[in-house]
Amino acid sequence: MTGVIAALFRHPIKGFSPEKLGRERLTPGEPFPNDRLFAVENGPSGFDPAAPGFIPKQRFAVLASIADVAKIRTRFDPASGKLRALARGGGTFEANLRSAEGKQAFAEWLEPILDTAAGPLKVIDGVGHAFLDHPLGHISILNLASLRDLEMRIGQRLDPGRLRANLHVEGWPAWIENGWSGRQLALGAARVRVFAPISRCAAPGVDPQTALRDVDFTAELHRHYGHVLCGVYVQVEHGAVVAQGDAADALPG
């Protein structure tokens, strides 16, 4: 089953805007590089940087619970630690997010924008730990044909950015990926294995362009297909640089 990598994305701050890439190196056993490095606590999350572990997304400022997160565009430079952010309607922010002062300043800047948050807001750094939605779901892939099939059924265009995947793939039949648990994929010269389909929450119901919750995404999935799956998690077995335009093949067996 042959497809093509249509786009690559990282999300340096969990729940916040994606950054499109042309290429990236995948490493065995590791998440997508510079993805979910930081998170914004919506009240104390229980995260311990000395013993980092999985924390449910509900404890962070994310689209599933706070649609206004989509009003903010961020850009992070991993080399310098510098974050630039722009809020819809005006307001900009710039600081070193790796510094304590930068984290505090960003949380203070966010407070009036995310005024429905339970709070207090606090920016935390995983320091090598990625704030993934699933502890073993290292990298996420969206089959664009599956999303288009859902669009056709509900009569509404759905921005693929709603799904916050690391890779978008063209060329696979719609929904074929739901049966690929345990199957190896070739992404360019890299080899990954499908861990599991992704069970979706309320986050894709938010339009990333308008910050409006305009579709009950999980209800529509269940109504049309009898499940709430869209996309797959994979784990890297053989590392390599992957790029937009590389083949994305499901290997035999």
How far, in Å, CA of 76 to CA of 39, rounded? 13
Q: Helix 144-154 and helix 217-225: axis angle, to 10°?
A: 90
Burial status of residue 204 (CB atoms within 10 A of its CB: 0-12, 13-18, 19 or more): buried
Position 89 confidence tier, pLDDT thresholds 50, 70, 90: confident
Average pLDDT score over residue span 65-93: 95
Q: Which amino acid is at 162?
A: R
Residue of higher predicted confidence among 119 and 61 = 61
Question: What tokens appear for 217 in the block?
Answer: 């995404």
Largest CA distance in the chain: 53
Beta strands 38-42; 72-76: pairing state: unpaired
How far, in Å, CA of 104 to CA of 124, rounded? 10
SS3 assignment for 91-107: CEEEEECCCHHHHHHHH
The domain spans of the chain are 2-31+134-250, 38-125
2-31+134-250: CATH architecture = Beta Barrel (2.40)
- Would the pTM of this model clear 0.85, i.e. be above it? yes
Average pLDDT, the chain: 96
Position 30 confidence tier, pLDDT thresholds 50, 70, 90: very high
Is pLDDT at 28 greater than 80 in this prediction?
yes
Is pLDDT at 216 greater than 90 in this prediction?
yes
How far, in Å, CA of 55 to CA of 73, rounded? 24
Question: What tokens appear for 156 in the block?
Answer: 């509404």
Average pLDDT score over residue span 99-106: 98
Q: Is the dihedral of CA 36, 37, 43, 48 positive or negative?
A: positive
Contact call for residues 60 and 45 (beta carbons, < 8 A): yes
Question: What tokens appear for 163 in the block?
Answer: 């799904």
Is pLDDT at 204 greater than 90 in this prediction?
yes
